[in-house]
Protein backbone atom coordinates (compact mmCIF):
# COMPACT_ATOMS: atom_id res chain seq x y z
CA UNK A 1 0.00 0.00 0.00
CA UNK A 2 2.66 2.44 0.97
CA UNK A 3 4.54 1.54 -2.18
CA UNK A 4 1.77 2.65 -4.49
CA UNK A 5 2.70 5.40 -6.86
CA UNK A 6 6.20 5.73 -5.52
CA UNK A 7 7.87 2.83 -7.25
CA UNK A 8 8.90 4.89 -10.28
CA UNK A 9 12.50 4.38 -9.23
CA UNK A 10 12.12 0.73 -10.23
CA UNK A 11 11.71 1.75 -13.87
CA UNK A 12 15.34 1.14 -15.02
CA UNK A 13 15.17 -2.47 -13.93
CA UNK A 14 11.85 -3.17 -15.65
CA UNK A 15 13.17 -1.37 -18.70
CA UNK A 16 16.17 -3.70 -18.67
CA UNK A 17 13.87 -6.74 -18.53
CA UNK A 18 11.72 -5.43 -21.37
CA UNK A 19 14.59 -4.39 -23.62
CA UNK A 20 17.21 -7.04 -23.01
CA UNK A 21 15.28 -10.09 -21.86
CA UNK A 22 11.87 -10.08 -23.51
CA UNK A 23 12.52 -8.08 -26.67
CA UNK A 24 15.51 -10.16 -27.88
CA UNK A 25 13.60 -13.44 -27.59
CA UNK A 26 10.64 -12.00 -29.47
CA UNK A 27 12.94 -10.55 -32.13
CA UNK A 28 14.62 -13.91 -32.68
CA UNK A 29 11.24 -15.58 -33.15
CA UNK A 30 10.14 -12.75 -35.45
CA UNK A 31 13.25 -12.98 -37.60
CA UNK A 32 12.97 -16.74 -37.92
CA UNK A 33 9.83 -16.13 -39.99
CA UNK A 34 11.65 -14.29 -42.77
CA UNK A 35 13.75 -15.66 -45.61
CA UNK A 36 16.82 -14.04 -47.16
CA UNK A 37 14.75 -11.71 -49.34
CA UNK A 38 12.62 -10.52 -46.46
CA UNK A 39 9.47 -12.47 -47.28
CA UNK A 40 7.26 -13.76 -44.52
CA UNK A 41 7.50 -17.52 -44.73
CA UNK A 42 7.83 -20.74 -42.79
CA UNK A 43 10.56 -21.99 -45.14
CA UNK A 44 13.24 -21.76 -42.46
CA UNK A 45 11.36 -24.20 -40.28
CA UNK A 46 10.80 -26.50 -43.23
CA UNK A 47 14.52 -26.27 -43.94
CA UNK A 48 15.38 -27.14 -40.39
CA UNK A 49 13.68 -30.49 -40.78
CA UNK A 50 15.76 -31.47 -43.78
CA UNK A 51 18.42 -34.16 -43.20
CA UNK A 52 21.28 -31.63 -43.24
CA UNK A 53 20.04 -29.73 -40.21
CA UNK A 54 18.64 -32.75 -38.43
CA UNK A 55 21.96 -34.52 -38.73
CA UNK A 56 23.74 -31.45 -37.42
CA UNK A 57 21.36 -31.25 -34.47
CA UNK A 58 21.90 -34.91 -33.68
CA UNK A 59 25.70 -34.71 -33.85
CA UNK A 60 25.58 -31.58 -31.76
CA UNK A 61 23.54 -33.43 -29.15
CA UNK A 62 25.78 -36.48 -29.29
CA UNK A 63 28.90 -34.37 -28.69
CA UNK A 64 27.22 -32.41 -25.90
CA UNK A 65 26.20 -35.70 -24.32
CA UNK A 66 29.74 -37.12 -24.58
CA UNK A 67 31.22 -33.94 -23.12
CA UNK A 68 28.76 -33.93 -20.22
CA UNK A 69 29.24 -37.64 -19.51
CA UNK A 70 33.04 -37.48 -19.48
CA UNK A 71 33.04 -34.32 -17.39
CA UNK A 72 30.81 -36.03 -14.85
CA UNK A 73 32.95 -39.15 -14.86
CA UNK A 74 36.09 -37.17 -14.06
CA UNK A 75 34.49 -34.56 -11.82
CA UNK A 76 32.48 -36.72 -9.43
CA UNK A 77 35.42 -38.63 -7.93
CA UNK A 78 37.47 -35.44 -7.87
CA UNK A 79 34.73 -33.57 -6.00
CA UNK A 80 34.33 -36.50 -3.60
CA UNK A 81 38.04 -36.62 -2.86
CA UNK A 82 38.14 -32.85 -2.47
CA UNK A 83 35.69 -33.03 0.43
CA UNK A 84 38.12 -35.39 2.17
CA UNK A 85 41.16 -33.13 1.91
CA UNK A 86 42.52 -31.02 4.71
CA UNK A 87 42.84 -27.55 3.20
CA UNK A 88 39.51 -27.50 1.38
CA UNK A 89 39.37 -23.76 0.78
CA UNK A 90 42.78 -23.76 -0.82
CA UNK A 91 42.03 -26.72 -3.08
CA UNK A 92 38.74 -25.16 -4.07
CA UNK A 93 40.48 -21.94 -4.98
CA UNK A 94 42.92 -23.94 -7.09
CA UNK A 95 39.99 -25.52 -8.95
CA UNK A 96 38.39 -22.14 -9.52
CA UNK A 97 41.53 -20.34 -10.63
CA UNK A 98 41.77 -21.91 -14.12
CA UNK A 99 38.19 -20.86 -14.84
CA UNK A 100 39.36 -17.28 -14.57
CA UNK A 101 41.79 -17.69 -17.42
CA UNK A 102 40.10 -16.71 -20.61
CA UNK A 103 38.70 -19.78 -22.29
CA UNK A 104 40.17 -18.76 -25.63
CA UNK A 105 43.68 -18.83 -24.22
CA UNK A 106 43.18 -22.33 -22.82
CA UNK A 107 41.79 -23.47 -26.14
CA UNK A 108 44.70 -21.84 -27.92
CA UNK A 109 47.15 -23.80 -25.73
CA UNK A 110 45.75 -27.01 -27.15
CA UNK A 111 46.55 -25.92 -30.69
CA UNK A 112 50.17 -26.24 -29.60
CA UNK A 113 49.76 -29.34 -27.45
CA UNK A 114 47.80 -31.34 -30.01
CA UNK A 115 49.73 -29.98 -32.99
CA UNK A 116 51.66 -32.17 -35.38
CA UNK A 117 54.93 -31.52 -33.53
CA UNK A 118 53.36 -31.05 -30.13
CA UNK A 119 54.20 -33.00 -26.96
CA UNK A 120 51.41 -35.53 -27.43
CA UNK A 121 52.65 -36.48 -30.86
CA UNK A 122 56.22 -36.61 -29.53
CA UNK A 123 54.98 -39.03 -26.92
CA UNK A 124 53.27 -41.13 -29.58
CA UNK A 125 56.50 -41.13 -31.53
CA UNK A 126 58.33 -42.37 -28.47
CA UNK A 127 55.83 -45.19 -28.08
CA UNK A 128 56.31 -46.04 -31.72
CA UNK A 129 52.74 -45.25 -32.74
CA UNK A 130 53.93 -42.44 -34.93
CA UNK A 131 52.35 -39.08 -35.56
CA UNK A 132 48.61 -38.86 -35.47
CA UNK A 133 46.25 -36.19 -36.63
CA UNK A 134 44.78 -35.03 -33.31
CA UNK A 135 43.78 -31.47 -34.02
CA UNK A 136 40.66 -31.03 -36.11
CA UNK A 137 39.07 -34.28 -34.98
CA UNK A 138 36.04 -35.05 -32.87
CA UNK A 139 38.33 -36.40 -30.16
CA UNK A 140 40.22 -33.16 -29.67
CA UNK A 141 36.94 -31.24 -29.55
CA UNK A 142 35.56 -33.48 -26.80
CA UNK A 143 38.83 -33.46 -24.87
CA UNK A 144 39.27 -29.70 -24.88
CA UNK A 145 35.62 -29.12 -23.99
CA UNK A 146 35.80 -31.57 -21.09
CA UNK A 147 38.98 -29.84 -19.95
CA UNK A 148 37.24 -26.48 -19.96
CA UNK A 149 34.04 -27.67 -18.29
CA UNK A 150 35.47 -29.84 -15.50
CA UNK A 151 35.61 -27.05 -12.88
CA UNK A 152 31.97 -26.17 -13.55
CA UNK A 153 31.03 -29.79 -12.98
CA UNK A 154 33.16 -30.16 -9.85
CA UNK A 155 31.87 -27.08 -8.01
CA UNK A 156 28.13 -27.90 -7.74
CA UNK A 157 28.85 -31.56 -6.96
CA UNK A 158 31.35 -30.47 -4.35
CA UNK A 159 28.83 -28.24 -2.59
CA UNK A 160 26.21 -31.01 -2.69
CA UNK A 161 28.72 -33.44 -1.15
CA UNK A 162 29.62 -30.90 1.50
CA UNK A 163 25.98 -30.74 2.57
CA UNK A 164 25.86 -34.49 2.98
CA UNK A 165 25.32 -35.57 6.55
CA UNK A 166 28.26 -37.84 7.36
CA UNK A 167 26.38 -39.78 10.01
CA UNK A 168 24.23 -41.20 7.22
CA UNK A 169 27.32 -42.92 5.84
CA UNK A 170 28.13 -44.36 9.25
CA UNK A 171 24.55 -45.53 9.54
CA UNK A 172 24.72 -47.23 6.15
CA UNK A 173 27.93 -48.96 7.10
CA UNK A 174 26.58 -50.02 10.49
CA UNK A 175 23.62 -51.55 8.73
CA UNK A 176 25.99 -53.63 6.66
CA UNK A 177 26.10 -51.81 3.33
CA UNK A 178 29.24 -52.27 1.26
CA UNK A 179 31.15 -49.26 -0.03
CA UNK A 180 29.56 -49.51 -3.46
CA UNK A 181 26.05 -49.92 -2.06
CA UNK A 182 26.57 -46.91 0.20
CA UNK A 183 27.58 -44.90 -2.80
CA UNK A 184 24.75 -46.12 -5.01
CA UNK A 185 21.94 -45.99 -2.46
CA UNK A 186 22.99 -43.14 -0.17
CA UNK A 187 25.69 -40.79 -1.45
CA UNK A 188 24.68 -40.50 -5.09
CA UNK A 189 20.92 -40.00 -4.55
CA UNK A 190 21.61 -37.35 -1.93
CA UNK A 191 23.93 -35.40 -4.20
CA UNK A 192 21.82 -35.69 -7.33
CA UNK A 193 20.95 -31.98 -7.13
CA UNK A 194 24.62 -31.11 -7.56
CA UNK A 195 24.96 -33.53 -10.44
CA UNK A 196 21.93 -31.96 -12.12
CA UNK A 197 23.26 -28.44 -11.68
CA UNK A 198 26.64 -29.52 -13.03
CA UNK A 199 25.12 -31.23 -16.05
CA UNK A 200 23.10 -28.13 -16.78
CA UNK A 201 26.17 -25.93 -16.51
CA UNK A 202 27.94 -28.16 -19.04
CA UNK A 203 25.33 -29.49 -21.46
CA UNK A 204 23.86 -26.23 -22.74
CA UNK A 205 27.19 -24.48 -23.34
CA UNK A 206 28.46 -27.66 -24.98
CA UNK A 207 25.63 -27.37 -27.50
CA UNK A 208 26.35 -23.78 -28.26
CA UNK A 209 30.03 -22.92 -27.86
CA UNK A 210 31.37 -22.10 -31.28
CA UNK A 211 34.88 -20.88 -30.56
CA UNK A 212 36.23 -24.23 -29.36
CA UNK A 213 34.69 -25.88 -32.38
CA UNK A 214 36.20 -23.33 -34.72
CA UNK A 215 39.69 -23.34 -33.21
CA UNK A 216 40.09 -27.00 -32.32
CA UNK A 217 37.77 -28.98 -34.57
CA UNK A 218 38.12 -26.88 -37.71
CA UNK A 219 35.07 -27.58 -39.81
CA UNK A 220 34.91 -31.20 -38.70
CA UNK A 221 32.36 -30.67 -35.98
CA UNK A 222 29.42 -28.36 -36.54
CA UNK A 223 27.31 -27.70 -33.48
CA UNK A 224 24.14 -25.66 -33.13
CA UNK A 225 26.27 -22.78 -31.87
CA UNK A 226 28.56 -22.87 -34.89
CA UNK A 227 25.55 -22.93 -37.18
CA UNK A 228 24.09 -19.82 -35.56
CA UNK A 229 27.39 -17.98 -35.75
CA UNK A 230 27.83 -19.03 -39.37
CA UNK A 231 24.37 -17.82 -40.38
CA UNK A 232 24.60 -14.53 -38.56
CA UNK A 233 28.15 -13.47 -39.25
CA UNK A 234 29.24 -15.30 -42.38
CA UNK A 235 26.33 -16.02 -44.70
CA UNK A 236 24.20 -13.21 -43.25
CA UNK A 237 21.13 -15.44 -43.39
CA UNK A 238 19.62 -14.10 -40.17
CA UNK A 239 16.33 -15.88 -40.76
CA UNK A 240 17.83 -19.35 -40.74
CA UNK A 241 20.17 -18.41 -37.91
CA UNK A 242 17.21 -17.27 -35.85
CA UNK A 243 15.39 -20.51 -36.60
CA UNK A 244 18.30 -22.54 -35.23
CA UNK A 245 18.37 -20.16 -32.25
CA UNK A 246 14.64 -20.71 -31.66
CA UNK A 247 15.28 -24.44 -31.52
CA UNK A 248 18.20 -23.98 -29.16
CA UNK A 249 16.00 -21.85 -26.89
CA UNK A 250 13.29 -24.51 -27.00
CA UNK A 251 15.78 -27.25 -26.15
CA UNK A 252 17.13 -25.16 -23.32
CA UNK A 253 13.66 -24.53 -21.90
CA UNK A 254 12.85 -28.22 -22.15
CA UNK A 255 16.10 -29.14 -20.46
CA UNK A 256 15.41 -26.72 -17.63
CA UNK A 257 11.93 -28.10 -17.10
CA UNK A 258 13.27 -31.66 -16.98
CA UNK A 259 16.02 -30.81 -14.53
CA UNK A 260 13.65 -28.41 -12.76
CA UNK A 261 14.08 -27.79 -9.07
CA UNK A 262 17.80 -28.40 -9.26
CA UNK A 263 18.49 -24.70 -8.90
CA UNK A 264 16.66 -24.66 -5.64
CA UNK A 265 18.74 -27.59 -4.44
CA UNK A 266 21.94 -25.73 -5.09
CA UNK A 267 20.76 -22.38 -3.83
CA UNK A 268 19.87 -23.53 -0.36
CA UNK A 269 23.54 -23.98 0.45
CA UNK A 270 23.62 -20.31 1.33
CA UNK B 1 43.81 -47.95 4.14
CA UNK B 2 47.10 -46.21 3.47
CA UNK B 3 47.15 -47.51 -0.05
CA UNK B 4 43.67 -46.17 -0.71
CA UNK B 5 44.71 -42.75 0.48
CA UNK B 6 47.68 -42.75 -1.82
CA UNK B 7 45.51 -43.65 -4.77
CA UNK B 8 42.99 -40.88 -4.12
CA UNK B 9 45.74 -38.32 -3.71
CA UNK B 10 47.22 -39.48 -6.98
CA UNK B 11 43.88 -38.96 -8.70
CA UNK B 12 43.51 -35.44 -7.35
CA UNK B 13 47.06 -34.54 -8.26
CA UNK B 14 46.43 -35.88 -11.75
CA UNK B 15 43.29 -33.77 -12.17
CA UNK B 16 45.15 -30.68 -11.02
CA UNK B 17 48.08 -31.45 -13.29
CA UNK B 18 45.78 -31.70 -16.28
CA UNK B 19 43.98 -28.51 -15.27
CA UNK B 20 47.17 -26.51 -15.03
CA UNK B 21 49.41 -28.14 -17.64
CA UNK B 22 48.05 -26.23 -20.67
CA UNK B 23 48.34 -22.91 -18.86
CA UNK B 24 51.96 -23.51 -17.92
CA UNK B 25 52.64 -24.89 -21.37
CA UNK B 26 51.51 -21.57 -22.84
CA UNK B 27 53.61 -19.61 -20.39
CA UNK B 28 56.71 -21.75 -20.92
CA UNK B 29 56.76 -21.27 -24.68
CA UNK B 30 56.24 -17.54 -24.39
CA UNK B 31 59.99 -17.45 -23.68
CA UNK B 32 60.93 -19.55 -26.69
CA UNK B 33 63.17 -17.81 -29.19
CA UNK B 34 62.35 -20.51 -31.74
CA UNK B 35 58.99 -18.96 -32.52
CA UNK B 36 56.96 -22.17 -32.28
CA UNK B 37 55.05 -23.95 -29.55
CA UNK B 38 56.87 -27.26 -29.82
CA UNK B 39 60.63 -26.86 -29.81
CA UNK B 40 62.26 -24.78 -27.14
CA UNK B 41 65.39 -23.23 -28.59
CA UNK B 42 66.44 -20.50 -26.24
CA UNK B 43 65.27 -17.99 -23.73
CA UNK B 44 64.00 -14.66 -24.99
CA UNK B 45 61.82 -11.81 -23.84
CA UNK B 46 61.20 -10.61 -27.40
CA UNK B 47 57.53 -11.48 -27.39
CA UNK B 48 56.94 -9.49 -24.23
CA UNK B 49 58.62 -6.54 -25.85
CA UNK B 50 56.45 -7.08 -28.89
CA UNK B 51 53.28 -7.09 -26.80
CA UNK B 52 54.24 -3.98 -24.88
CA UNK B 53 55.21 -2.10 -28.04
CA UNK B 54 52.06 -3.04 -29.92
CA UNK B 55 50.02 0.17 -29.62
CA UNK B 56 46.98 -1.44 -31.22
CA UNK B 57 47.02 -4.15 -28.58
CA UNK B 58 47.44 -1.61 -25.79
CA UNK B 59 44.46 0.39 -27.07
CA UNK B 60 42.45 -2.83 -27.13
CA UNK B 61 43.47 -3.59 -23.55
CA UNK B 62 42.39 -0.12 -22.46
CA UNK B 63 39.10 -0.60 -24.33
CA UNK B 64 38.54 -3.87 -22.51
CA UNK B 65 39.20 -2.33 -19.11
CA UNK B 66 37.03 0.72 -19.80
CA UNK B 67 34.16 -1.46 -20.95
CA UNK B 68 34.54 -3.74 -17.92
CA UNK B 69 34.62 -0.97 -15.32
CA UNK B 70 31.92 1.16 -16.91
CA UNK B 71 29.53 -1.70 -17.63
CA UNK B 72 29.95 -3.13 -14.12
CA UNK B 73 29.27 0.24 -12.54
CA UNK B 74 26.08 0.76 -14.56
CA UNK B 75 25.03 -2.85 -14.11
CA UNK B 76 25.40 -2.71 -10.34
CA UNK B 77 23.16 0.38 -10.15
CA UNK B 78 20.44 -1.36 -12.16
CA UNK B 79 20.98 -4.49 -10.08
CA UNK B 80 20.42 -2.64 -6.79
CA UNK B 81 17.14 -1.36 -8.18
CA UNK B 82 16.36 -4.85 -9.44
CA UNK B 83 16.96 -6.45 -6.06
CA UNK B 84 14.74 -3.81 -4.43
CA UNK B 85 12.10 -4.49 -7.08
CA UNK B 86 12.13 -8.24 -6.52
CA UNK B 87 12.06 -7.74 -2.75
CA UNK B 88 9.15 -5.30 -2.96
CA UNK B 89 6.91 -7.77 -4.79
CA UNK B 90 4.65 -9.40 -2.22
CA UNK B 91 2.89 -11.95 -4.38
CA UNK B 92 4.88 -15.20 -4.38
CA UNK B 93 3.97 -16.09 -7.92
CA UNK B 94 4.83 -12.68 -9.32
CA UNK B 95 8.09 -12.79 -7.43
CA UNK B 96 9.03 -16.13 -8.98
CA UNK B 97 8.15 -14.87 -12.45
CA UNK B 98 10.33 -11.82 -11.93
CA UNK B 99 13.18 -14.01 -10.69
CA UNK B 100 12.88 -16.30 -13.70
CA UNK B 101 12.92 -13.32 -16.05
CA UNK B 102 15.97 -12.08 -14.21
CA UNK B 103 17.74 -15.42 -14.66
CA UNK B 104 17.02 -15.84 -18.37
CA UNK B 105 20.27 -14.19 -19.42
CA UNK B 106 22.31 -16.26 -16.95
CA UNK B 107 21.20 -19.57 -18.39
CA UNK B 108 21.02 -18.53 -22.05
CA UNK B 109 23.94 -19.56 -24.21
CA UNK B 110 26.19 -16.73 -25.36
CA UNK B 111 25.49 -17.28 -29.04
CA UNK B 112 21.81 -16.65 -28.48
CA UNK B 113 22.44 -13.54 -26.42
CA UNK B 114 24.89 -12.32 -29.05
CA UNK B 115 22.66 -13.03 -32.01
CA UNK B 116 19.54 -11.56 -30.45
CA UNK B 117 21.37 -8.43 -29.31
CA UNK B 118 22.76 -8.04 -32.81
CA UNK B 119 19.19 -8.03 -34.14
CA UNK B 120 18.12 -5.63 -31.38
CA UNK B 121 20.87 -3.11 -32.07
CA UNK B 122 20.36 -3.29 -35.80
CA UNK B 123 16.64 -2.61 -35.43
CA UNK B 124 17.19 0.14 -32.88
CA UNK B 125 19.68 1.73 -35.25
CA UNK B 126 22.54 1.65 -32.77
CA UNK B 127 25.88 1.62 -34.55
CA UNK B 128 27.95 -1.44 -33.71
CA UNK B 129 30.99 -0.46 -31.69
CA UNK B 130 31.65 0.96 -28.25
CA UNK B 131 27.99 1.70 -27.41
CA UNK B 132 26.63 -1.67 -28.50
CA UNK B 133 29.38 -3.56 -26.65
CA UNK B 134 28.87 -1.47 -23.51
CA UNK B 135 25.09 -1.94 -23.58
CA UNK B 136 25.32 -5.69 -24.00
CA UNK B 137 27.90 -6.02 -21.24
CA UNK B 138 25.62 -4.05 -18.91
CA UNK B 139 22.72 -6.24 -19.99
CA UNK B 140 24.32 -9.60 -19.26
CA UNK B 141 25.98 -8.44 -16.01
CA UNK B 142 22.76 -7.24 -14.37
CA UNK B 143 21.18 -10.61 -13.45
CA UNK B 144 24.22 -12.09 -11.70
CA UNK B 145 24.68 -8.86 -9.73
CA UNK B 146 21.01 -9.01 -8.70
CA UNK B 147 21.52 -12.56 -7.46
CA UNK B 148 24.52 -11.44 -5.42
CA UNK B 149 22.61 -8.60 -3.75
CA UNK B 150 19.24 -10.27 -3.21
CA UNK B 151 20.21 -12.68 -0.36
CA UNK B 152 21.55 -9.78 1.69
CA UNK B 153 18.36 -7.84 1.12
CA UNK B 154 16.21 -10.82 2.04
CA UNK B 155 18.16 -11.53 5.21
CA UNK B 156 17.64 -7.97 6.34
CA UNK B 157 15.14 -7.78 9.17
CA UNK B 158 12.11 -5.66 8.14
CA UNK B 159 12.01 -4.19 11.63
CA UNK B 160 15.16 -2.22 10.78
CA UNK B 161 13.46 -0.20 8.06
CA UNK B 162 10.31 0.08 10.16
CA UNK B 163 12.32 1.40 13.07
CA UNK B 164 14.11 3.90 10.85
CA UNK B 165 10.82 5.15 9.47
CA UNK B 166 9.25 5.36 12.92
CA UNK B 167 12.17 7.47 14.01
CA UNK B 168 11.41 9.88 11.22
CA UNK B 169 13.82 8.89 8.46
CA UNK B 170 12.78 9.84 4.97
CA UNK B 171 12.61 7.19 2.25
CA UNK B 172 15.92 8.40 0.92
CA UNK B 173 17.50 8.15 4.36
CA UNK B 174 16.19 4.63 4.81
CA UNK B 175 17.79 3.67 1.53
CA UNK B 176 21.17 5.33 1.99
CA UNK B 177 21.61 4.92 5.73
CA UNK B 178 19.98 1.56 6.41
CA UNK B 179 19.52 -0.58 3.31
CA UNK B 180 22.66 0.24 1.35
CA UNK B 181 25.10 -0.37 4.25
CA UNK B 182 23.44 -3.72 4.92
CA UNK B 183 23.65 -4.94 1.33
CA UNK B 184 27.13 -3.53 0.80
CA UNK B 185 28.88 -6.93 0.72
CA UNK B 186 26.42 -8.02 -1.96
CA UNK B 187 27.07 -4.90 -3.98
CA UNK B 188 30.77 -5.53 -3.67
CA UNK B 189 30.66 -9.13 -4.85
CA UNK B 190 28.08 -8.27 -7.52
CA UNK B 191 30.38 -5.63 -8.94
CA UNK B 192 33.23 -8.09 -8.93
CA UNK B 193 31.19 -10.74 -10.70
CA UNK B 194 30.09 -8.22 -13.32
CA UNK B 195 33.71 -7.28 -13.82
CA UNK B 196 34.78 -10.88 -14.44
CA UNK B 197 31.81 -11.55 -16.71
CA UNK B 198 32.75 -8.56 -18.77
CA UNK B 199 36.48 -9.30 -18.91
CA UNK B 200 35.81 -12.93 -19.76
CA UNK B 201 33.18 -12.47 -22.39
CA UNK B 202 33.96 -13.40 -25.93
CA UNK B 203 30.90 -14.65 -27.79
CA UNK B 204 28.49 -11.79 -27.10
CA UNK B 205 31.12 -9.17 -27.87
CA UNK B 206 32.08 -11.04 -31.01
CA UNK B 207 28.53 -10.62 -32.31
CA UNK B 208 27.92 -7.00 -31.42
CA UNK B 209 31.32 -5.49 -32.12
CA UNK B 210 31.63 -3.80 -35.46
CA UNK B 211 34.71 -3.19 -37.55
CA UNK B 212 37.39 -1.15 -35.89
CA UNK B 213 36.34 -1.81 -32.33
CA UNK B 214 37.67 -4.80 -30.48
CA UNK B 215 38.13 -6.20 -27.02
CA UNK B 216 40.91 -8.47 -25.86
CA UNK B 217 39.05 -11.78 -26.26
CA UNK B 218 37.91 -10.93 -29.78
CA UNK B 219 41.46 -9.93 -30.66
CA UNK B 220 42.89 -13.16 -29.23
CA UNK B 221 40.34 -15.17 -31.19
CA UNK B 222 41.15 -13.55 -34.49
CA UNK B 223 44.89 -13.97 -33.88
CA UNK B 224 44.53 -17.58 -32.77
CA UNK B 225 42.55 -18.41 -35.90
CA UNK B 226 45.59 -17.44 -37.91
CA UNK B 227 47.66 -20.04 -36.10
CA UNK B 228 50.34 -20.01 -33.45
CA UNK B 229 51.95 -16.70 -32.60
CA UNK B 230 54.04 -16.49 -29.48
CA UNK B 231 52.94 -12.96 -28.70
CA UNK B 232 49.61 -14.53 -27.71
CA UNK B 233 51.57 -16.71 -25.29
CA UNK B 234 53.31 -13.69 -23.83
CA UNK B 235 49.99 -11.91 -23.56
CA UNK B 236 48.38 -14.86 -21.80
CA UNK B 237 51.22 -15.00 -19.27
CA UNK B 238 50.62 -11.35 -18.48
CA UNK B 239 46.87 -11.93 -18.22
CA UNK B 240 47.43 -14.95 -15.99
CA UNK B 241 49.56 -12.94 -13.58
CA UNK B 242 47.02 -10.13 -13.62
CA UNK B 243 44.21 -12.60 -12.91
CA UNK B 244 46.09 -14.13 -9.99
CA UNK B 245 46.66 -10.69 -8.53
CA UNK B 246 42.96 -9.92 -8.91
CA UNK B 247 41.86 -13.20 -7.34
CA UNK B 248 44.28 -13.00 -4.46
CA UNK B 249 43.29 -9.38 -3.87
CA UNK B 250 39.61 -10.26 -3.90
CA UNK B 251 40.19 -13.27 -1.68
CA UNK B 252 41.93 -11.26 1.00
CA UNK B 253 39.40 -8.45 0.81
CA UNK B 254 36.50 -10.82 1.40
CA UNK B 255 38.47 -12.68 4.04
CA UNK B 256 38.97 -9.45 5.93
CA UNK B 257 35.31 -8.51 5.54
CA UNK B 258 34.07 -11.88 6.67
CA UNK B 259 36.38 -12.33 9.59
CA UNK B 260 33.86 -10.87 12.01
CA UNK B 261 31.07 -12.98 10.57
CA UNK B 262 31.98 -16.37 9.22
CA UNK B 263 34.14 -17.36 6.30
CA UNK B 264 31.42 -19.39 4.58
CA UNK B 265 30.61 -16.77 1.98
CA UNK B 266 34.14 -16.56 0.62
CA UNK B 267 33.96 -19.25 -1.99
CA UNK B 268 30.37 -18.72 -2.98
CA UNK B 269 30.56 -15.71 -5.28
CA UNK B 270 33.74 -16.97 -6.82
CA UNK B 271 32.13 -20.29 -7.53
CA UNK B 272 29.92 -18.93 -10.26
CA UNK B 273 32.68 -17.08 -12.01
CA UNK B 274 32.96 -17.10 -15.73
CA UNK B 275 30.72 -19.99 -16.70
CA UNK B 276 31.12 -20.17 -20.47
CA UNK B 277 27.55 -20.19 -21.57
Judge whether A38 lies within some domain.
no
Q: pLDDT class for A61, splitting at 50, 70, 90?
A: very high
* C-alpha span between A238 and A230 (Å, rounded): 10
Q: What are phi and psi of A132, to 5 degrees?
A: -120, 155
The alpha carbon of B20 is separated from its chain's Cα centroid by a whole number of angstroms, namely 21
Higher pLDDT, A72 or A214: A72
CB B126 within 8 A of CB A20: no
Q: Per-residue confidence at B259, pLDDT binned at 50, 70, 90? A: low
Query: Is residue A18 in a domain?
Result: no
Q: Kindly report the CA angle at B128 between B125 and B133, in degrees rounded to 5?
A: 115
Mean pLDDT of all residues in B65-84: 95
Rounded CA gap, B87 and B75, in Å? Answer: 18
Top mean pLDDT of A249-253, B79-83, B211-215 is at B79-83
**pLDDT value for B266:** 40
- Find the farthest-apart pair of alpha carbons in chain A and give their distance in angstroms, rounded: 79
CATH number of domain containing A180 = 1.10.3720.10
Nearest-Cα distance to chain B for A42, in Å, is: 19
pLDDT at A181 over 80: yes
Give the per-residue pLDDT at A170: 86
Q: Average pLDDT for residues B91-115, to the nearest whole number? A: 90
**Whole-number Cα distances in Å, B199 to A101, A200, B213, B231:** 10, 23, 15, 19
Percent of chain A with pLDDT over 70: 93
In DSSP terms, B32 is beta-bridged to B43
Which of A78-82, B51-55, B170-174 bottoms out in mean pLDDT, i.e. has the lowest? B170-174
Q: Please indicate if any CB of chain B lies within 8 Å of the CB of A7.
A: yes
Name the residue range of residue A192's domain: 50-269
Please tell me the distance from the alpha carbon of residue A196 to that of residue A261, in angstroms, as a whole number.
Answer: 9
Distance CA(B234)–CA(B239), nearest Å, equals 9
Which B residues, 213 through 252, put their C-beta within 8 Å of a C-beta on chain A? 216-217, 220-221, 224-225, 227-228, 232, 236, 239-240, 243-244, 246-247, 251
Beta-bridge mates of residue B43: B32
- For residues A206 and B275, the answer to whether their CB atoms sit within 8 Å is no
pLDDT of residue B258 exceeding 80: no
A146 touching chain B per CB within 8 A: no
Inter-helix orientation angle B46-53/B55-88, to 10°: 70
Looking at chain B, the whole-number percentage of residues with pLDDT higher than 90 is 39
Q: Does B270 touch chain A (CB under 8 A)?
A: yes
Show Cβ contacts of residue B141 under 8 Å, excluding neighbours closer than 6 positions.
B71, B72, B75, B79, B193, B194, B197, B198
Q: How many domains does chain A have?
A: 1
Of residues A38 and B94, more confidently modeled = B94
pLDDT tens per residue, range A80-128: 999 888 888 888 888 888 888 888 888 988 988 888 888 888 888 888 7
Question: Terminus-to-terminus CA distance in chain A, angstroms?
Answer: 31
The interface predicted TM-score (ipTM) is 0.84
What chain B holds in terms of domains, given with CATH numbers, is 31-259 (1.10.3720.10)
Phi and psi for A40 in degrees, rounded to 5?
-75, 120
Q: What confidence tens digit (pLDDT) does each residue in B6-29 have?
A: 778 889 889 999 999 999 998 898
A193 within some domain: yes
Q: B97 CA to chain A: closest CA distance, Å?
A: 12
Residues of B with Cβ-Cβ distance to A60 under 8 angstroms = none
A interface test, pick of B14, B60, B95, B116 with most A CB neighbours within 10 Å: B116
A61 within domain boundaries: yes
Residues in chain A: 270
Mean pLDDT score across all residues of chain B? 85
pLDDT reading at B208 higher than 90: yes
Let me know: does A48 contact A247? Beta carbons within 8 Å: yes
Q: Note whether residue A222 is domain-resident.
A: yes
In a domain, A39, yes or no: no
Using a CB–CB cutoff of 8 Å, tell me whether A107 touches chain B.
yes
pTM, full prediction = 0.85
Q: What is the pLDDT of residue A259?
A: 66
A159-185: average pLDDT: 87
Amino acid sequence: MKNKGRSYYLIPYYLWIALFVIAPVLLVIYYSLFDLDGHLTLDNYVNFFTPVYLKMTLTSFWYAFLITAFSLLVAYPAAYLLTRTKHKQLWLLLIILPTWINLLLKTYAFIGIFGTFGPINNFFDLLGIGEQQILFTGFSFVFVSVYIFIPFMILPIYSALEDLNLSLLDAARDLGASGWTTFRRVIFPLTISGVRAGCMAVFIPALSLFMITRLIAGNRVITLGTAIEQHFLVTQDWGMGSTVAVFLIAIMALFMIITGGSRKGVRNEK
Amino acid sequence: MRNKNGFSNLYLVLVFAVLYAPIFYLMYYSFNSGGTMHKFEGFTLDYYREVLQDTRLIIIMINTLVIALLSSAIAILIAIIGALAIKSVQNRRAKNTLLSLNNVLIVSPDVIIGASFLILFTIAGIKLGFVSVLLSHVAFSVPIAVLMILPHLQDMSPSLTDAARDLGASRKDVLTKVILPIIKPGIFSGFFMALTYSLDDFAVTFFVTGNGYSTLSVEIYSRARQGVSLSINALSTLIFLFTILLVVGYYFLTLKKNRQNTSEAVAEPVAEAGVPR
